[in-house]
Structure 1
Amino acid sequence: MTLDEVGLAAAAPGSVPSQEEALAWSVDPLSALTDLGRSDLDADRRTLLGQAVYSVAALALPHEDWWRTAAEVPPEAPPGRHRVGRADVATVQELTVAFSRMDQRRGGGHGRTALVQYLHSDVRDFLHGRFHDDGVRRGMCSAAAELSYLSGWMAFDNGEHAVAQRYFILAVKLAAHAGDAPLSGHVLRAMAHQAIDLGFARRGLDLAEASVHGERYAAATPRERALLGVIHARGLAATGNGQAAAKALLRAEDDLASAGDEIPEPNRTFFFGEASLAHETACALRDVGDGAGAVREFRRSVRTRGADFKRTHAVTLGYLGATQLAGGHVEEACVTWSGALDAVEDGIYSGRARQAVVDMRTHLSPYRRRGIPAVTALDARAAAYVSV
């Protein structure tokens, strides 16, 4: 094992960066993509990548000059022999949709290896190809950014936070080189979501504010604006800005209400509708201490979510049960959590869903010796699930 492999050696000019260096905004995205592929697909290097630490320092965004330069200067790639056209861009987009729908049904722990293999073979070759024109180059950078984002989101959902962070940063770099402001905002929103969930609320708010800044919000479609806005509201709520969070929630509701079939939306927003808005709204209300409002919105989310979104359905039920228990409704929480276990036991591979079951047992611990039949039965079932 070399120093370079554990990320301790300085990279020579033109060499592939180490994992920690790849987090730097100055590192070219094609070099970062090569490094991630080498680390994520090789068994020994994958172990090292899995042991990497989520970096709070890497959440600091670059100066505005960086964004302008990235949009003007293509990533550094030697001229390739493969000619890349619009059909190649469409192929990457179609496969991204397929992987994204699978993620929603089964969770981020299912299928990410296949996605990563495609990203680091076919898509990497496309990025090193000869483009028909600059529009195709930008389109391929955007398509690669979405696939990188999805790899990051799946890793985030599966509790692999350092891996997720590296793919998110790669996705932002590629989106910036594509000059795709709404896509940059979409990925920054995901980074904000991750930071907030991990307890870095102030950093999460900074990222969320960046996601709704300028063209990232202004050039986005209504559905995407609503998604950016509701995570901004969560950041505000998590940092104690209740009034500002309420205003942001109202704006997100208005944005979603203005979405319609007559306005084409990017494929990446297909999952975001009333159920998702209600889920994130409930999280914001929970964080400002409005337990009753949070229960109401979590229930709305459960009621309106379609059958194709089982992973998030399980997570929502987990959060709903915890909020009900916090309000003193023990048996009601047990009924909700029983539904969450039904969902996770039905072929869901998700670290977030599994964590909801672990948290369920933690919340139930003060009630274990009170002789409540619903608690005893649910706790035994949850213990059996997490022991596998």
Structure 2
Amino acid sequence: MSKTPNEALARLVRESGLTYSAFAMAVNRIGTEIGRPTRYDDSAVTHWVAGTMPRKEARAAIVEALSRKLFRPVTYAEAGFPSPDGGGSPLGTVEGLVDLGRQDMDPSRRSVLGAALFSVALTIPDWPDVVGRIEAHAAGEAPRIGMGEVRMVQEMTERVSELDDQFGGRHARPMAAAFLVNTVAGYLKAQAPDAVRKAMMSAASDLCYLTGYMAVDEGLHGLAQRYYLKALELAGASEDHLTYCTTLRGMSVQAVDLGHGAHAMRLADAAAAASPQAGPRMRAFLAGQQAHAAAQIGDRIQALQYMKEAEKAMEVAESRAKAFGSYDPSSLMYHLAQVKHELGDNSGAVEAMKESNKLRHSVYRRAMVRHTALTAERQLAIGHLEAACETWTEALTDYPLVQSGRCDERMREMVSLLTPYRENTQAKGVLEQARAVGVPVAA
């Protein structure tokens, strides 16, 4: 039976510029480093390239040798090998992260990634299942990192988040994926004191969560779930309860926005259960999300109870300090608007949404465009065409400045809702303004 040539490995060896003999020597050096000396020569490499599967230990050394020579992480999948055993090992987590990020960076893979669907059957690990599961990595010649590298990852994540808030995630997400692959993955495999390793895994978890959030913004829900799962793994490994429950909360937001209320409720409850030490601001966010999910499944009593809990927690949080960039009164009013809408109070939902928009800081341009358009939809639903047109006009002012799948969706919905009213002067004006800024509008 003929073997299938390992073209992926052959391509990487060619990229390295090493002869088969030199490559075998590099693999042997790594084998010696890890206490498993080998004596491979050029004939072994010939067999590997021809399709013979190297032994498990050799595969690890091959991937490491290629990573060092190419000055970038090389994964098992990229080398044509099956993923290593042990999903909780550092190789399992980091390998999966690199493969995910590299595919996301590659424009030729975007359509494949975009085809992945949101799944309510996704297995979400419990906190005890992920806590501390990544063991120290035998880094060999990998550089040693310190808290300076951790702070750099944290600050990069903040900068990417700011870009996402202002301009949407369409362009920022591939940049975040490239940073994950080319920089953060290497840090996760580097030598470091235990406290630094945990801090780096926590920072990486936060970046994975943000990248997943940006995938949600683009409507790539299956991809977002994969990033979220990596965030959970890394948060557990670093014993970072806050990012773990933040990620579960984000998964609940994704689910409720897609109409999966029961699934959103389970995730919101899991997030609340995973954060017994949450401060009042986080508690307000968690309760607000529980309220939205409960309202969507028709549990009016629970929804209103959670909403009261969110309001009380927000009062405590605001009395302590202003926390720019986190859950704030505008976010609380958005949750109230969603709860009222789900419970059939559309007039109340419109008023709460208008108040939310009024309170939102201008740096959150993407959210402002999306939520303003959503306000107009609900104004139209209660028969206020002229008010809706005025509100859509506001949304269209900033729309050209954002690159966001969710904002695009709101604009498409606007066109659909206004088309029956196109003889109305104001509606006609909104549609013309939309066409002028690139929204597809039929002539």
TM-score of Structure 1 vs Structure 2, range by shorter chain: 0.7 to 0.9
Which one of the candidate residues 223, 231, 241 is aligned to 2:281?
223
Tell me which residue corresponds to 1:163: 223
Equivalence for 1:207:
267
SS, match of residue 185 in structure 1: helix
Q: Which residue in 1 is equivalent to 2:69?
A: none
1:204-247 CA distance string (max 9 Å, x none): 11111111114x2x222222222222111111111111111111
* Deviation by residue 1:334-374 (Cα, 9 ceiling, x = unmatched): 111111111212x1111111111111122223323xx3111
> Among 155, 162, 181, which residue is 1:101 paired with?
162
Q: Give the alignment partner of residue 361 of structure 2, picking from 296, 306, 319.
A: 306
Distance in 2 (CA, whole Å) between partners of 1:295 and 1:3 is 59
Q: CA offset at residue 38 of structure 1? A: 2.9
Alpha-carbon deviations, 1:91-126, whole Å to 9, x = none?
111111111111111111132222111111111111
CA distance change for structure 1 residues 285 and 264 in 2, over 3 Å: closer, same or farther? closer
1:56 and 2:120 correspond? yes
Give the secondary-structure state (helix, strand or coil) at the position aligned to 1:302: helix
SS where residue 130 of structure 1 aligns?
coil
Q: Could you list the per-position Cα deviations for residues 228-275 of structure 1 after superposition, in whole angstroms to 9, with x for gaps in the alignment?
A: 22111111111111111111111112222212586797xxx8242111
1:37 maps to: 101
Matched, 1:123 2:184: yes
Unaligned runs of 5+ in 1: 6-11
2:310 to 252, 268, 289: 252
**1:85 paired residue number:** 146
Q: Aligned AA for 1:109?
A: R
Higher RCO (C-alpha under 8 Å, 6+ residues apart)? 1
Residue matched to 2:413: 359
CA distance in 2, matches of 1:260, 1:387: 42
Deviates further, 374-383 or 284-293: 374-383
Structure 1 equivalent of residue 427 of structure 2 = 375
- Structure 1 residues 253, 3: closer, same or farther in 2, change over 3 A? farther
Q: Percent identity?
A: 32
Give the Å deviation of 1:330. 0.8
Amino acid of the residue matched to residue 285 of structure 2? L
Partner amino acid, structure 2, of 1:34? V
The runs of at least 4 aligned residues of structure 1 exceeding 6 Å deviation read 2-5, 12-15
CA 1:258–1:150: 2 relative to 1, 3 Å: same
Change (3 A) 1:199 1:4: farther
Q: Contact 1:29/1:170 (CA < 8 Å) preserved in 2? A: yes
Q: Secondary structure at the match of 1:306?
A: coil
Structure 1 distance, partners of 2:7, 2:220, is: 22
- C-alpha distance 48-75 of structure 1, shift in aligned 2 (>3 A): farther
> Aligned in 2, Cα 1:102/1:248: closer, same or farther, shift over 3 Å?
same
Alignment of 1:130-149 (within 5 A): 130-132=191-193, 134-149=194-209
Unmatched 5+ residue regions in structure 2?
Answer: 9-54, 61-74
State the Cα deviation string for residues 265-311 of structure 1 (Å, max 9, x = none).
7xxx8242111221122112111111122111101111111111111
What is the CA–CA distance in structure 2 between the aligned matches of 1:383 and 1:50, rounded to whole Å?
Answer: 27
Residue of structure 2 equivalent to 1:279: 334
Q: TM-score, normalised by structure 2?
A: 0.76
Residue 69 of structure 1, CA deviation: 4.4
Which letter does structure 1 place at the counterpart of 2:411? Answer: V
- Secondary structure of residue in 2 paired with 1:258: helix
Q: Distance in 2 between matches of 1:120 and 1:164?
A: 16
Between the aligned partners of 1:42 and 1:158, the Cα distance in structure 2 is: 16
CA distance in 2, matches of 1:69, 1:169: 12
Amino acid of the residue matched to residue 169 of structure 1? L
Q: What is the rounded CA distance, in whole Å, between the counterparts of 1:4 and 1:160 in structure 2?
A: 30
Look up the SS of the partner of 1:212 in the other structure: helix
* Greater mean deviation of Cα atoms: 85-94 or 377-386: 377-386
**Contact 1:30–1:76 under 8 Å retained in 2:** no
Query: What RMSD, in angstroms, separates the aligned Cα atoms of the two structures?
Result: 2.7
CA contact (8 A) 1:165 1:191 kept: yes
CA distance in 1 between counterparts of 2:215 and 2:96 reads 17
Shift of 1:52: 2.2
Match of 1:8 in 2: none
Deviation digits for residues 146-201 of structure 1, max 9, x if unmatched? 00111111111122222211111111111111111121110111111111111211
One-letter amino acid matched to 1:349 = Q
SS at match of 2:155: helix
CA contact (8 A) 2:287 2:310 kept: yes
C-alpha change, 1:239 and 1:75, in structure 2 (3 Å) is farther
- Please say which of residues 253-262 and 167-176 is displaced more in the overlay: 253-262
Larger radius of gyration: 2
Q: Check conservation: 1:188, 1:207, Cα contact below 8 A.
A: yes
Please name the residue that 1:291 is paired with: 346
| Cα 1:71/1:321, change in 2 over 3 Å | same
Q: Against the structure 1 CA distance between its residues 300 and 264, is the aligned structure 2 distance closer, same or farther, given a 3 Å change threshold?
A: closer
One-letter identity of the residue aligned with 1:220: A
Question: Residue 17 of structure 1: CA displacement?
Answer: 6.8
Aligned to 1:9: none
The answer to whether 1:47 aligns with 2:111 is yes
Task: State the alpha-carbon separation in 2 of the partners of residues 260 and 328 from structure 1.
Answer: 36
C-alpha distance in 1 between matches for 2:109 and 2:399: 30
Task: Give the deviation of 1:387 after TM superposition.
Answer: 2.7
Counterparts of 2:257 and 2:135 in 1: how far apart (Å)?
A: 32
